[in-house]
């Protein structure tokens, strides 16, 4: 895991907006008095949704609000990679670069981001986009994929190609919301291509099995040797009468 530091440039202050305050109150209401610190992750998340990232003043504000030492909230914010410690674009594109996505073309998706947005972590000139590479997001069956986060939510876009990612960025740039989920013609993570059905008898009747040559078999005849019948068990000795030895 890489070292995560606060951004070099920080705003003067932070305050929750009116809408964010409603969410803060909701989350604080979930925990008993004296346990307000339990709401640290939701409050940091609300701050991030409001600003697009978690600044140092936001960390202090959340800590003060929850009666926690600043260092404790800093630890949480720097531990979880889901918290952005640097300004992000209105839409943050998180490209999964872990093996299944990589093998299915994540490299092409990164090239699209580089050419349209700029280097990793940099906000585009119009402030609309930034992108980062992340580890597996748990949608490997629909690789390659990206998560796109903005004020309205965090959506997965799956079964991507360079072309479909470009189309999604076009829609976002127009201020519209592209439909999330697989960008191919399959539903969720159903098998791609021909349907596989478990009612196919050949899955169970052995007809698909390939003959196996056992390494110790002397000859094909030996392999096919019939199983010997079990020897009849020895007759039981008649039980002795009386208990004397
Ligand atoms: S490897 Fe990309 S979602 Fe799992």
Our answer on whether the CB atom of 63 is closer than 6 Å to any ligand 1 atom is: no
H-helix segments, 84-160: 99-103, 106-116
Percent of the chain at pLDDT > 90 equals: 73
Helices (H) and strands (E) in the chain, counts: 8, 5
Nearest to 101 by CA among 156, 180, 150, 153: 156
Nearest to 130 by CA among 153, 114, 109: 114
The domain segmentation of the chain, as residue ranges, is: 18-79, 91-182
Nearest to 31 by CA among 69, 66, 60, 74: 66
Cα gap 161→112, rounded to integer Å: 10
Our answer on whether the CB atom of 143 is closer than 6 Å to any ligand 1 atom is: yes
> What mean pLDDT comes out for the span 210-231?
63
What's 189's DSSP letter? Answer: T
The answer to whether 172 and 148 are in contact (CB under 8 A) is yes
- Which tens digit of pLDDT belongs to each residue from 56-89? 999 999 999 999 999 999 999 999 999 999 999 9
Q: Regarding predicted confidence, which is higher, 6 or 218? A: 6
Please state the atom number of ligand 1 nearest to the C-alpha of residue 99. 1
**What residues contact residue 75 under an 8 Å CB cut-off, 6+ apart?**
none
Please state the atom number of ligand 1 nearest to the C-alpha of residue 97. 2
Our answer on whether the CB atom of 88 is closer than 6 Å to any ligand 1 atom is: no
Distance from Cα 135 to the centre of ligand 1, integer Å = 7
Our answer on whether the CB atom of 189 is closer than 6 Å to any ligand 1 atom is: no
Please state the atom number of ligand 1 nearest to the C-alpha of residue 100. 1
CATH of 91-182, one of 1.10.10.10, 3.40.30.10, 3.40.50.1220, 2.40.220.10: 3.40.30.10
Determine the residue of 141, 143, 159 to mutate for testing ligand 1's pocket, defined as the one with the most ligand atoms within 8 A of the Cβ atom. Answer: 143
- Which tens digit of pLDDT belongs to each residue from 16-28? 999 999 999 999 9
CATH of 18-79, one of 3.30.450.40, 1.10.10.1590, 1.10.3720.10, 3.40.570.10: 1.10.10.1590
Nearest to 195 by CA among 182, 185, 180: 185
Tokens of 215: 């390494």
Average pLDDT of the chain?
89
Beta strands in the chain (DSSP E): 91-96, 129-134, 146-150, 153-158, 181-182
């Amino acid at each position: 895991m890489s070292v995560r530091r606060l951004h070099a440039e920080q705003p003067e202050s932070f305050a929750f907006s009116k809408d964010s305050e409603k969410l803060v109150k909701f989350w604080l209401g979930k925990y008993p008095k004296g346990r307000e610190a339990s709401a640290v992750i939701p409050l940091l998340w609300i701050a991030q949704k409001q600003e697009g990232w978690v600044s140092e003043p936001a960390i202090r504000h959340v800590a003060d609000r929850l009666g926690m030492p600043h260092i404790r909230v800093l630890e949480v914010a720097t531990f979880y990679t889901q918290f952005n410690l640097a300004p992000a674009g209105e839409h943050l594109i998180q490209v999964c670069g872990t093996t299944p996505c990589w093998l299915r073309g994540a490299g092409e998706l990164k090239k699209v981001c580089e050419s349209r947005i700029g280097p990793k972590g940099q906000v585009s000139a119009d402030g609309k986009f930034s992108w980062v590479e992340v580890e597996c997001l748990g949608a490997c069956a629909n690789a390659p994929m990206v998560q796109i986060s903005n004020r309205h939510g965090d959506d997965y876009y799956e079964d991507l190609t360079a072309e479909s990612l470009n189309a999604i960025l076009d829609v976002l740039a127009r201020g519209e919301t592209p439909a999330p989920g697989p960008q191919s013609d399959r539903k969720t993570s159903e098998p791609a291509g021909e349907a596989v059905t478990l009612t196919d008898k050949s899955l169970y009747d052995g007809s698909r099995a390939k003959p196996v040559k056992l390494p110790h078999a002397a000859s094909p005849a030996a392999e096919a040797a019939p199983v010997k019948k079990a020897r009849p068990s020895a007759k039981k000795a008649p039980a002795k009468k009386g208990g004397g030895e």
